[in-house]
Amino acid sequence: MPVTTIADHEIHVDDEGFMTVYDEWDEELAKSLAAAIGVEMTDESWRAIRFMREDFKSEGHTPTLRRISTVGGFDTKGLFALFPKKPAKKMAYIAGLPKPAGCV
Amino acid sequence: MTAAQEAIIPKFDDDEEDSGRTLAIICSKGDLDMAYPGLILGNAALGEGVKLHLFFTFWGFDMIIKSRMRNLKFSPNGNTAMHMPVGDVRIPQALAPMPGMQPMATKMLKKQIADLGVPEVPEFLDHIVASGGRLWACRMSADMNHVTKDDLYEGVEDIINASDFIELTAGAQLLFI
């Protein structure tokens, strides 16, 4: 498993760069992850990322965009604005989670 | 083992060339099982930053006619791949047209879809529109069905003819379902 260093944090990642160890993540690191992919974080972005972390903890897998919007109560259009083009993947990356596996 | 010299960061392909990709899906079927492939692929495309047009035509109109879109049906009739819920037992084709089979098969399929957290057609369209997908209705189908825009799901932008659709989807990748 590759190890990479982002903002002085040594983290385990998959071949693409998504984090693979849940507990290596913290919000300081998430700021750097967001910056690395050019995403500017807002209060709403943080709420969504925190929801994903909690949901992963209880469900065992990364929520899809549909789930983030229906279960988490986030506006889909808003998520596309906050995490342009590929919201689910970008959010998973910033949240230190694997890419969502579900289709919908 | 990759050393830590250079950070491994996913490539989200945000460059202009990639974001120019457009997918156009022609939804021509109104069976419950045939409504989903277009919705699932279209939704996936939007999630990948691909622009999406859905064009509803012929039987696919049932996906966007307000009074029908929630009641699409699934029939095992003519579908030899329809199995019993357990194992590889096929439903004999002779039984498929029997009374009660279609409602039962529809109910089963709806439950299987819901169990996966996949929404019903109207909510799926809501999600697609909120994600930036654009919906179009076919002029000829509208005339054949004697429906106007008022009869259609509100996310449908307009009723357009075949030429409009071809013009609109210049350079797009096309999928006919």
Torsion of CA B67, B70, B75, B78, to 10 degrees: 70
Note whether A38 contacts B130, CB cutoff 8 Å. no
Residue A59 in contact with partner chain B when CB distance is under 8 A: no
Taking CB atoms and an 8 Å cutoff, what residues of chain A touch B4?
3-5, 10
For position A16, what pLDDT does the model report? 92
Taking CB atoms and an 8 Å cutoff, what residues of chain A touch B118?
66, 103-104
Nearest CB partner across the interface for A104, out of B12, B43, B132: B43
Identify the helix (H) or strand (E) that includes residue B60. Answer: none
Domain ranges of chain A: 3-94
Nearest CB partner across the interface for A76, out of B4, B12, B131: B131
Question: How far off is chain B from A9, nearest CA to CA, in Å?
Answer: 10
For A55, the token pair is 């949901």
Residues of A labelled as active-site residues: 103
Question: How far off is chain A from B10, nearest CA to CA, in Å?
Answer: 5
Nearest CB partner across the interface for A104, out of B8, B9, B118: B118
Using CA atoms, how far residue A89 sits from A24, A41, A86, B25, B31, in Å, is: 19, 15, 6, 23, 32
For position B117, what pLDDT does the model report? 87
Domain ranges of chain B: 21-176
Which value, in Å, is the radius of gyration of the alpha carbons in chain B? 20
- Phi/psi for B133 (5° steps) reads -70, 150
Taking CB atoms and an 8 Å cutoff, what residues of chain A touch B10?
16-18, 37, 89, 93
For position B103, what pLDDT does the model report? 93
Mean pLDDT of B147-155: 96
Residue B89 is classified by DSSP as P
Q: What rounded mean pLDDT belongs to chain A? A: 94
Q: What is the pTM of this model?
A: 0.88
Taking CB atoms and an 8 Å cutoff, what residues of chain B touch A73?
none
Note whether B7 contacts A6, CB cutoff 8 Å. yes
Class of domain B21-176: alpha beta
Note whether A4 contacts B132, CB cutoff 8 Å. no
Nearest CB partner across the interface for A10, out of B4, B12, B116: B4
Residue B86 is classified by DSSP as S
For position B15, what pLDDT does the model report? 65
Nearest-angstrom CA–CA distance, B73 and B68: 10
Range with the lowest mean pLDDT among A75-84, B85-94, B111-120, B124-133? B85-94
Place of tokens 């998973």: A92
3-state secondary structure A30-88: HHHHHHHCCCCCCHHHHHHHHHHHHHHHHHCCCCCHHHHHHCCCCCHHHHHHHCCCCHH
- Beta-sheet pairing, A3-6 with A9-12: antiparallel
For position B7, what pLDDT does the model report? 84
